Amino acid sequence: MTREQLSLTTLARAGFVGLSSVRGELDELVELTGFGVDELLPALSAAADPDTALALALRLLRHAPVQTARYVPSRNDARRVFRVIGASEGAAEFFLRQPAELSALDDPIIALPTADELRADLLDAVGAVDGVAALEDDAARIALRVRYRRRLVQIASFDLEQEDPVAGLDAVAAALSDLAAAALEASLAVARRQTIGTGPGRFPEAEVRATRFAIIGMGKAGARELNYVSDVDVIYVTEGDEEAGLSSGRAVDIATRLAMLTQRGIHEPAIEPGLWEVDPNLRPEGKDGALVRTLESHIAYYDRWAKGWEFQALLKARPLAGDLELGERYVAALAPKVWSSASRENFVESVQRMRERVTDNIPDDETHYQLKLGPGGLRDVEFTVQLLQLVHGQTDERVRQRDTLSALAALAAQGYIGRDEAAAFSQDYRTLRLMEHRLQLRHLSRTHLMPRDEGDVRILARATGLAPSAEQLLVRWNAIKHRVRGLHERLFYRPLLSAVAAMPSDDSGLTGGAGLTSEQAEARLAAIGFRDPRGALAHIAALTAGVSRRATIQRHLLPVLLQWFAAGPDPDYGLLTFRRLSEDLGTTHWYLKMLRDSTGAAERLTRVLSGSRFAGELLGRIPESVAWLESEEELRPRSAEVLREETAAILGRHQSAATAAASLRAVRRREVLRLAFSAILGFATIDELARGLTAVNENVIEGVLSAIRAERGDAADLEFAIIGMGRFGGRELGFGSDLDVMYVFRPLAADQDTAHKAALAIVADLNRLTEDNRLPLDLDIGLRPEGKNGPPVRSLEAYRAYYKRWSLTWEAQALLRARGVAGDAALLADFEAVADEVRYPAAIGEQEVREVKRIKARVENERLPQGADPARHLKLGRGSLSDVEWFVQLIQLQHAAAIPALRTTSTLDALAVAVDHDLVAEDDASKLRDAWLLASRARSAMTLWTDKTADVLPADRVALEGVARLLEYPPGSASRLEEDYLAVTRRARAVFERGFYGLPQRPTPTG
């Protein structure tokens, strides 16, 4: 290819940007090298920045034509040179300073050098013999730095030639770390040369050689994870030699001199620039502490004064240079302190706060561009892995790895993190590190900021091979940030970590480890609250037996879960149900993963299982619902609109009323369980739960009725509707509440008898198809006219006639909470109009008022179960639900005709209206409201606790404690709940007696 044949398109495809000048520069390069354009162009196009590679090649040839020209003897070698200088202007600057070092690229780099090879090479550069260099001062610094950079460009050449540089990152980082360690060893040899002798700062050779001095690598240097240009964090340790007559104090003086000179040899100015910063500020007391300490002094400091973050910093400690045996003793002495540091109070929280401070301290204009410190950056991965290591490494030596990627693999292998998450974290971490490497390689300068210029991003895209364009690299990077941040937040802040960190180390024996004998484990379980410790131990053994991954994860989870179960009111039932659930779901891919990794699912599950037999038994029927515990949104009641949409879809799928009803009953069980979770975990108020339960039951009744009517095909013959009564009509249902209803029909084409028979058949089908053995749905028609003696269903006209002629006061009172819940809309509206005429009379006479009071007195005397304590009965007892509801209903009978706002089926809404119209004093209403709410909550809590409907506040302390915990009392509050309930209902009863019966106010005890 000739110059004239070089089109701008060809140059652009080769990666050139400055097209106007490229032809002339290529001409000059052809002239200087003797190569043809067809040889040079492919070699240049292999560079990350072909323009820079071309310009720098010309600079090199002009600066040292003889030396440079011989190092591009073939196309392949030219490609190697161009690739290095096209990715690293810093390397080109090195060659300009030291043109003879281009010989480093004479041959392809087939394999990376070993740590021993690098150490020997750099010691040779300074003429070291027996640990002491022949060179010193500038001569030594220049020789060391030139040899270091020669090796660096060879590593870079190897790196840039990799087909998959992401996969090769680990080996490159290890080689760079080994090169840094070799540089420190060579600089230490020079420092010994500068220390031996007489005069200021010099010591006798025997003393210098007797001084045991080790350089400990910290951070990335210790973990063999260094970048091309990283600060190298170090700690210095020394020891005297009593046999040689060298005291510890003298050794510290000599070692301090060695440390200072070693650092200068690395970064003090000279003709050849410094390499990188040696940072000793992770030492005890930081910048204010002694630069060098003895091993004994280090141990004493970490025993008495060190903070949590200092142990985290030691996680990667490794001897780098000097006396490696002393360095190993240093690491061994401090390792137990590192791996027990997580048991310190609030350790996990302190690590979390430290990560947040790092993010908070990033300048605002850099946050988005930070590869290392910003959200979704390298630090998110590193902090997550280190925290998991420190927490689980207390008892598991297998996760005690120095480097991030090995630690990730170990954490995944042992089940502390999901394999998918570990794989994603590893790949993203390597990718971010590769981007960081290439950014630093370009100018051989320390940076962690993504470039803002599009051209620079394009060069980075080509240098990494991660994307074909700047835009696509940014898209990939942002996806990585989002993924890393999400994983970091899920793993770094999971509650399980704090709980594991705080556990005594011997609790691992509870899960079958070697920590405790069976007798000791049973004693421990009994001590923390299990009433059947032998049974609990059997459940634990079943859950953790074997070598499967499931058993491994259960062994990690159970010590913490046991503590959480024990914090609940019934840990034995909680553990039993957890075992059943785990046997049902343990083979699924998500169950144990969710418990381990979720921000709160595991703790929520223990609260549900140890606090509610109702939820535990229902959960056994719907085990997959445990997944809701991971999301607060899933734990909130579903709206009536959402339920209606699902019902419509079910009815559309099923032609048979029986199969549609089965699906609708399943939806009801599912949604009642969701509401039970909400109640137990405090995600819904009593009003939200009541309305949620009402909506769920309305939904199944309306859906089943629609399926029955569609299957019967009698819509043209009659209208049919269901009226909610009592707490159902008032939208005040609790767990275990019956559904009080009345049925009404209206003939259309059919005659009265035929329509009545059809309505009776609909009622029979409705009772049959809503029957649910697991979660009873009791349609109670006891509030219909004439009570048990009345027909199950009447026509609208029959109701109208009955109420006009025969209605009793109690029936008008019952209608106060009548509300249409299902069926034909026109019939529902017409029934409510009939009901309004009865329940909102223009006037109610004194005789009717006396009748209401007489019936209430009979209810108190006759309906209260034999032997029941009136002070503890939640429904019929003194100051309980019945008192409040009858009090409000009497007001409605007397005043709703004149005050339309009182025409509501809700007890508390009517009470609020009564206050607004000065029918009840606010203080009295508050006492009634408090009693009604507490009794309602306690009644639902009784059902949740026992899985049975109960109306009496238990006297048994265990049951009372269970109810108290469901009412969000702290542990040990059984007596406090009892006292609160008796006091609240006593005050409500006083208001009731005065306002309902007209009895004089009696003195009320304080409290």
Cα–Cα distance for residue pair 614/942, rounded to 1 Å? 10
Mean pLDDT of the chain: 91
pLDDT score for 752: 94
Write out the two tokens for 581: 């659930």
Question: Is the pLDDT assigned to residue 653 strictly greater than 50?
Answer: yes
Percent residues over pLDDT 70 in the chain: 95
| pLDDT-based confidence at residue 39 (cuts at 50, 70, 90) | confident
CB atoms within 10 A of CB 283: 25
Distance CA(465)–CA(717), nearest Å, equals 76
Residue 3 has pLDDT above 70, yes or no: no
Q: Could you tell me which residue, 776 or 144, shows the higher pLDDT? A: 144
Cα–Cα dist 169/159, whole Å: 8
Q: Which amino acid does the sequence have at 410?
A: A
Radius of gyration of the chain (CA): 41
Q: Which pLDDT score, from 0 to 100, does residue 1004 have?
A: 47
Mean pLDDT along residues 929-943? 96
- Alpha-carbon distance of 624 to 602, in angstroms, equals 14
Reported as a pLDDT band with limits 50, 70 and 90, residue 966 is: very high
Residue 501 pLDDT level (bands cut at 50, 70, 90):
low
pLDDT score of 826 more than 50: yes
Mean pLDDT of 624-640: 91
> What token pair was written down for 1005?
């005890």
CA angle, 363 then 369 then 370, to 5°:
70
Comparing 313-327, 397-411, 580-594, the range with the smallest average pLDDT is 580-594
Q: How far apart are CA 354 and CA 726, in angstroms?
A: 57
Q: Which residue has the higher pLDDT, 498 or 548?
A: 548
pLDDT of residue 568: 92
User: What is the rounded average pLDDT of the residues 351-361?
Assistant: 86
Residue 989's pLDDT band (cuts 50, 70, 90): very high
* Mean pLDDT value across residues 709-724: 95
Per-residue pLDDT reduced to its tens digit, 280-294:
999 999 999 999 999
Q: Count other Cβ atoms within 10 Å, centred on residue 431.
A: 19
DSSP 69-91: HTT--SHHHHHHHHHHHHH-HHH
Among residues of the chain, what percentage have pLDDT more than 90?
Answer: 69
From the CB of residue 332, how many other CB atoms can be counted at a distance below 10 Å? 9
pLDDT tens for each residue of 95-133: 999 998 998 998 888 899 999 999 999 999 999 999 999
pLDDT above 60 (res 1003): no
Distance from C-alpha of 847 to C-alpha of 853, rounded to nearest angstrom: 10
Tell me what pLDDT residue 657 has.
Answer: 96
pLDDT at 359: 86
Q: Which of 16-25, 705-714, 786-795, 798-807 has the lowest mean pLDDT?
A: 16-25
Q: What is the pLDDT of residues 854-902, one digit of tens each?
A: 999 998 888 888 888 999 999 999 999 999 999 999 999 999 999 999 9
State the Cα–Cα distance between residues 983 and 975, nearest whole angstrom. Answer: 12
Summarised one tens digit per residue, pLDDT across range 65-86 is: 655 555 454 545 778 899 999 9
